[in-house]
Chains A and B, each alone.
Chain A
């Protein structure tokens, strides 16, 4: 595992209007690792991802990604640094085909990437999408839509991908498939920050784990150590 931090978060605070939801989170995500971010509903996991992506109305602290300060950059600029985000709601755009939804990941990428080649490549990685390229995106099953959202985020080959509960509401077969995919991505050098309610599944995939509770970081260890520590899991992750 590489030791340099690709994403460095220091004392991150964030607010929704007047409500202060993150109280000083500090996390490093190392290049090439899978970091699982777990904790109860409402602990601040999604907010952390949103703050990293630049979608919070107000956030303070310090965040560096690939040597660049993130906080002054708006969301679209962060994407161009190589940071991709798959929101919990997936956000497949209605009225567009699967192919068009995939193209959305490239529309702003500039001329460096050939659209057709990129779509062919991603379709090889996602055989379920390959058969349905011309179908409307929102007519896919929940699991397939999740795959599409992930494929769309991957198509421009980001350095790091932020995943918000990718396994939620998805058939076990597809969750397994997704696990295989995430391992493959990691082996290819993509860094993953994985927010999950499905703690066991996430910990089996991850190298390290961080627990967030009430907007604060309360625990950090190797994923294997947390997987073995049922007490901590029960205290902070039980639903």
Chain B
């Protein structure tokens, strides 16, 4: 097989994986800190894509959509945490799971009512249309942008977590929320912010994915499954785990598509099964709050 084809497919896998990383990251952060399995995460991804599309057409610029949709949907996530999820802390893990499961249906139906059931094309921003000659082949400009964008967000998140006071509160709060309260931190506000961040990441994933797949009310359900697979492979609650597993799944899907396209959709589940057999806690397990 042609080497340049393999390299191109590898890059496609990384671009696919990048969107998975950003989406799974939101899911894993919320689980690791709050112990909430957010079944509405895929729906948040979907409304993020719609919000991006809507804001882009309203302002006439993709960039405004990319910037504002995560902020807007993140704020919506905070509202959900404040009004609904907050009441379920300290109860069984099933309660927030059922709540967000129901919420995802509400969101999907809401979007169906507002925008219809059909897919809507999400135009690629004019600056990113076309392909770039990488020497070994031509690669879509937009996908390079997605990879760079996700890398930049990861670096920003890492700096925030490792170098700032807020990051210290978040890292310590994930391990021991009680001691943080005793040391004067209003942990409820931290959880509110973390849930907002998780949802904002899902929305960012949705906007980034928009131009690569069409936008439709169902787009979140597949993404939710993918994000769960990624978090399970990486280790529930683990940030480096989400990054490595997201890229791994993206690349696997794309490479398998090269040799056996009909197997591409199940390869991630095979990967997950293998990881669960060999290392049930996931590749990068952290001691988090499990149930």
Contact = CB atoms under 8 A, between A and B. Distances in A.
Instruction: Verify that A and B bind, or say they do not.
Output: yes
Interface of A: 53-55, 74-76, 79-80, 84-85, 87, 91, 93-96, 100, 103-105, 107-109, 152-153, 156
A93 B172 contact: yes
Contact of B176 (A55, A76, A85, A93): A93
Contact of A104 (B178, B179, B186, B187): B179
Contacts of B277: none
A103 B287 CA distance: 22
A107 B182 contact: no
B184 A76 contact: yes
B278 interface: no
Contact of B186 (A76, A91, A93, A152): A76
Nearest to B181: A75
B160 to A, nearest CB: 14
B172 A108 contact: no
A87 to B, nearest CB: 7
Given A93-B175, A107-B168, A79 B287 contact: no
23 contacts: A54-B181, A74-B181, A76-B183, A76-B186, A76-B187, A79-B184, A80-B184, A84-B182, A85-B182, A91-B178, A91-B182, A93-B176, A95-B175, A96-B171, A103-B165, A104-B172, A104-B179, A107-B165, A107-B169, A107-B183, A108-B184, A108-B186, A156-B184
A76 B182 CA distance: 6
Interface string B159-200: 000000100110110011011111111110000000000000
Interface string B248-291: 00000000000000000000000000000000000000010000
A104 B175 contact: no
A105 B171 contact: no
B182 A79 contact: yes
A107 B179 CA distance: 12
Given A93-B172, A96-B172, A79 B183 contact: yes
Q: Which size class do B's interface residues fall under?
A: 10 to 19
Nearest to A86: B182
- Pick the 10 closest A-B CB pairs, nearest first: A108-B184, A79-B184, A75-B181, A91-B179, A108-B185, A93-B172, A76-B184, A76-B186, A76-B181, A93-B175
B90 to A, nearest CB: 10
Contact of A53 (B169, B182, B185, B287): B182
